[in-house]
C-alpha cells in the first residue's frame, strides 16, 4: 500500500497534509487529511481520529475545525478520513443522507452497497497501517472524536475497540440510530430490514453491553435544529448508566462548525488528559 502526498500547508508550527491512496477494502481511490505537530525533538506523538458528518469530506474539519493550534501544543497528530467511498463506479443515491458522503462508518451487507461501503473495516484495519507509518515518533496511543454521523461512527468504533482507544468524544452525535430517521434509512439500505442486525452499529446498544467503555465526552448544542428528531440522548444515557460519560448541553449553540471551533480546545484537552 502506498500513499501520495497531494497537499501541504504549514499551520501553527505543524503541517496540515492531504494524501491519496487506493483502498483495497473499499475498492476505490480515497483521500485523507493528516495534521502533524511540529517536530522539535523525539517527543512521542499521540494520534486523534476525527470522523465527519453527513455530506462532509476530510476537508471540513481540516479547514473549519480550528484545532491545529491546540493539537500542536499537545503534540497530537490528527487524521481526518473521508466519510464514504467515492467514484463513478461506487454506488450512490439521490438523497444527501445516503450513499457517497454518507457511509455511516459500518460494513454494508446489502447490494449495491456491500462491494464498497466497508468504512468500519477501512478505518479499523487498512487506513491505520498507512497513518501510523506517516507519524514521526508515534506513541501508539490513540483517541477518537467526531461530529453528527461522525459522532455515531466515533462511538461505535470506540466502543467496539476499547483496547485501542483511550477516550471518545463527539459533537452532536446520532446516539440511537436504530430509532431515528437518519439511521433507519441508512441501516435499512446498508444492512437490510432485519433490525436485529442493526444493534452492533448502534451506540446505545453497544454501550449497554460494554463492560469496559473508555471515558466519553459528548457536547450538544441547545439550538441544534436536528436535536429533537435525530440526536436525542435519553436512551443512550440510560444505557450508559455507571459508565464514564460526560454529556453537556451548550446553551444557544447549533449543529455547525462554529460550535465545533468554539469547543474543540476543551475536547482535545479531554483527550490529552486521558492519553497521559
Q: Are strands 28-36 and 45-51 parallel, antiparallel or unpaired?
A: unpaired
242: region left, alpha or beta (phi > 0 left; psi from -120 to 50 alpha): left
**Residue 71 DSSP SS3:** helix
Residue of 74, 147, 255, 267 marked catalytic? 255
Active site residue 224: yes
**Residue 63 DSSP SS3:** helix
Residue of 33, 92, 224, 271 marked catalytic? 224
Q: Are 83 and 150 in contact (CB under 8 A)?
A: yes
Residue of 52, 62, 148, 205 marked catalytic? 148
Cα three-residue angle 250-251-257, rounded to 5 degrees: 55
Active site residue 219: no
Residue tagged 443515491 (cell numbers)? 93
Question: What are the start-end ranges of the E strands in the chain?
Answer: 4-11, 14-23, 28-36, 45-51, 76-81, 138-147, 165-171, 216-221, 245-250
Residues marked active site are found at: 148, 224, 255
Amino acid at each position: 500500500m502506498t500513499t501520495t502526498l497531494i497537499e501541504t500547508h504549514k499551520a501553527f508550527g505543524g503541517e496540515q497534509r492531504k494524501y491519496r491512496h487506493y483502498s483495497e477494502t473499499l475498492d476505490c481511490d480515497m483521500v485523507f487529511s493528516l495534521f502533524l505537530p511540529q517536530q522539535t525533538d523525539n517527543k512521542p506523538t499521540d494520534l486523534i481520529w476525527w470522523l465527519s458528518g453527513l455530506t462532509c469530506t476530510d476537508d471540513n474539519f481540516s479547514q473549519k475545525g480550528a484545532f491545529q493550534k491546540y493539537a500542536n501544543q499537545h503534540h497530537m497528530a490528527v487524521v481526518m478520513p473521508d466519510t464514504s467511498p467515492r467514484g463513478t463506479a461506487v454506488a450512490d443515491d439521490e438523497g444527501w443522507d445516503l450513499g457517497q458522503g454518507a457511509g455511516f462508518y459500518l460494513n454494508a451487507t446489502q447490494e449495491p452497497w456491500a462491494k464498497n461501503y466497508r468504512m468500519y473495516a477501512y478505518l479499523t484495519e487498512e487506513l491505520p497501517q498507512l497513518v501510523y507509518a506517516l507519524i514521526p515518533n508515534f506513541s501508539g496511543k490513540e483517541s477518537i472524536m467526531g461530529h453528527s454521523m461522525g459522532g455515531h461512527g466515533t462511538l461505535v468504533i470506540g466502543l467496539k475497540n476499547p483496547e485501542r482507544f483511550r477516550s471518545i468524544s463527539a459533537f452532536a452525535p446520532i446516539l440511537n440510530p436504530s430509532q431515528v430517521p437518519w439511521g433507519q434509512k441508512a441501516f435499512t439500505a446498508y444492512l437490510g430490514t432485519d433490525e436485529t442486525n442493526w444493534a452492533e452499529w448502534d451506540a446505545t446498544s453497544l454501550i449497554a453491553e460494554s463492560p469496559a467503555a473508555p471515558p466519553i465526552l459528548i457536547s450538544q448544542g441547545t439550538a441544534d435544529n436536528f436535536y429533537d428528531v435525530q440526536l436525542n440522548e435519553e436512551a443512550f444515557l440510560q444505557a450508559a448508566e455507571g459508565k464514564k460519560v460526560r454529556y453537556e448541553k451548550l446553551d444557544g449553540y447549533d449543529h455547525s462548525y462554529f460550535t465545533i471551533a468554539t469547543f474543540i480546545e476543551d475536547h482535545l484537552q479531554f483527550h490529552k488528559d486521558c492519553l497521559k
